[in-house]
Amino acid sequence: MRKIIFGFIICIMLVFAAVLPVTGEFQKIKVNLPRTSLPPPMFIDMILEESICRRMSVRSYAEGDVTDEELSTILWAAYGVTEDGNRSIFNPDETFSTVIYVIRSDATYKYVPEDHSLSLFKNGNYLHIGQYDDAPIKFGLVWDMDIEPEELRGMADIGMICQNIYFDANALDLATITTGMYVEELNELGIPSNEKPEIIMPLGHPSNPYDFTYDPLPNSNLPPVEDNTITLEDAINNRSIVNTWDDSPLSLLEQSQLMWSSYGYSYLWDNVNNKRHRTLPSGIGYYPFKIFAADSNGVYQYFYNTHSTTDILQSDQRDEIKNCVDYGDILLETASFIIIPCLDTNIGTPQYQRFWYYENGAIIHNVLLEATALNLHSNVVYDITDEAGLRSAIGIPSQTNLVPLSVVPVGNEYTSPNMPPESPVISGPTHGTVGEQYTYTFNSEDPEYNDVYYYIKWGDGHVEIWDGPHSSGVDFEIPHTYTRENTFTIEAKAKDTEGEESDWSTFEVTIPRTKTINKPLLQFLQNNPSFFSILQKLIQDFGL
């Protein structure tokens, strides 16, 4: 018995030794919990604008499970990895600080975006957490404060995630709602202390099937909203983030679509609830943002009730806007159109601050997606360094109740004009012999590092017509043989893969005449050495 007790004590000591470093503090033991791979997401061919217009909150759920395929599709859209390795939402610093807990009747799981799987977190049924207990699934969205210390940015990510959950759920004839009440109940799951519960979204089948009627927005000074040709999935996969734009003005329709997506009303009438829905939800039932936009002609305010704008300033304020933010390497002044969501603190009270950060993220996300649908390119700036200056820049200096939370530049991507490659540098032997093969080297560097082709004239009638492609700035060697005597001029030029051609460069090669002597004369001189000596002396004396 003593041996058993002694062995047990030794085991305990070994465990302590494994987890207790020299500092004397305990380390966390990482445990790899079981993972379940999700099936591939389904393709949803609903046009982006229709997805935005069908976005609505549902508070009552019918019986019926959500399939693994449906769950997989929604989770990928929410936070998954896109075809080019990005995330389905945009974070300029790539500090993806959201953890999605998937609560089901059997257990709670964590979504793992990197391999699109579910990791078991806790066994047991926790569907009582939060509101709407009739939903078969609930998403618990928490902010990891160790990854992103600023709640503004953490909640902006969650706002983007929830938009995609709304869009895909509705397209699959499922339903959801954003809830911020009772989120602290997520702590019942035993989540880490560095994770703050923010949003719970139930997911299930709507108790009343969707019933929409197309009802275009009223006429205004903006064109009505039009459908483009790409789906939500296409917009997520093809989102284009750039830092520089070409400053070309957007059409009024493009401006209309962007402002509408940010904060407008649906062009679909909900026959079940007898209302139009907004392009994004409100966490507590009202909408406290005002949307401003700027281009080379001035600054405008968007009015979502009438889908219209009014002029505030009639001057280019993009440089002034840039001076009020920490823009990094983003050339804001080149963006064709800049959208600035401002929180009206007279409406959006401080105790609901996290909801406004959430809504700000939803606004940004809609603009980025709609920009993609319009074949435009976008970005976002969060760091407002001079709020008062930015209000002055957009013509509302006295409205101190308006707090700008982000700046969203949009436009056509700037592409520098393709420059031609440099004239080739030619090197090789400058003298040679008839019939001998010599190697010549050509090297041209392209400013854009495009591959190059070489057009070579050897000067003897032979030509190499656009030999290539060859790497920019790398030596290209090619042999050539001259079959007659002369001085030849090699000419060469380079062409890049875009078709731009360099100037000609030249290089001279001399193939001298071979000196010969008459064979009978040579025989005579060999047979008469004394005569040959006399001839040599004459040549030396007279310089022949």
pLDDT at 543 over 50: no
* Backbone angles phi and psi of 94, in degrees to 5: 55, 30
Position 473 scores a pLDDT of 96
Average pLDDT, the chain: 90
Homologous superfamily in CATH for domain 35-206: NADH Oxidase (3.40.109.10)
Determine contact, residues 279/264, Cβ cutoff 8 Å.
yes
CA atoms within 13 A on the CB side of 327: 24
Position 245 scores a pLDDT of 97
Confidence of residue 5 (pLDDT cuts 50, 70, 90): very low
CA dist 477 and 439 (Å) reads 6
Position 393 scores a pLDDT of 98
Position 2 scores a pLDDT of 42
pTM of the model as a whole: 0.75
pLDDT at 522 over 80: no
Nearest to 34 by CA among 98, 103, 108: 108
Position 519 scores a pLDDT of 58
Tens of pLDDT, residue by residue over 39-96, are 999 999 999 999 999 999 999 999 999 999 999 999 999 999 999 899 999 999 999 9
Please say whether the structural domain 425-511 has been given the CATH code 2.60.40.10. Answer: yes
Position 257 scores a pLDDT of 98
Nearest to 365 by CA among 87, 9, 119, 140: 87
pLDDT at 17 over 70: no
Position 525 scores a pLDDT of 58
* Backbone angles phi and psi of 354, in degrees to 5: -65, -30
pLDDT at 382 over 50: yes
Tens of pLDDT, residue by residue over 455-480, are 999 999 999 999 999 999 999 999 99
Tens of pLDDT, residue by residue over 258-287, are 999 999 999 999 999 999 999 999 867 789
**What average pLDDT does the segment 150-169 reach?**
97
Determine contact, residues 88/164, Cβ cutoff 8 Å.
yes
- 438 vs 18, higher pLDDT: 438
**What average pLDDT does the segment 141-149 reach?**
97
- 8 vs 84, higher pLDDT: 84
pLDDT at 15 over 90: no
Position 284 scores a pLDDT of 75
Tens of pLDDT, residue by residue over 435-453, are 999 999 999 999 989 999 9
Confidence of residue 351 (pLDDT cuts 50, 70, 90): confident
Quick one: residue 411, left, alpha or beta (phi over 0 = left, psi -120 to 50 = alpha)? left
- Work out whether strand 195-206 and strand 298-303 pair parallel, antiparallel, or are unpaired: unpaired
Position 26 scores a pLDDT of 33
Domain ranges within the chain, ordered by starting residue: 35-206, 212-411, 425-511
Q: Where are the strands (E) in 38-185, listed by range?
A: 61-62, 98-103, 107-112, 117-123, 137-144, 175-176
Q: How far is CA 175 from the centre of its chain?
A: 29
Tens of pLDDT, residue by residue over 295-348, are 999 999 999 999 999 999 999 999 999 999 999 999 999 999 999 999 999 998
pLDDT at 24 over 90: no
Confidence of residue 379 (pLDDT cuts 50, 70, 90): very high
- CATH fold for domain 212-411: NADH Oxidase (3.40.109)
CA dist 365 and 156 (Å) reads 9
Do 35-206 and 212-411 fold alike per CATH?
yes
Neighbours of 343 (CB within 10 A): 20
Query: Which DSSP string corresponds to 261-274?
Result: HHH-EEEEEETTTT
Tens of pLDDT, residue by residue over 497-513, are 989 999 999 999 999 97
**What average pLDDT does the segment 387-407 reach?**
98
pLDDT over 90 for what percent of the chain?
82
pLDDT at 21 over 50: no
pLDDT at 6 over 60: no
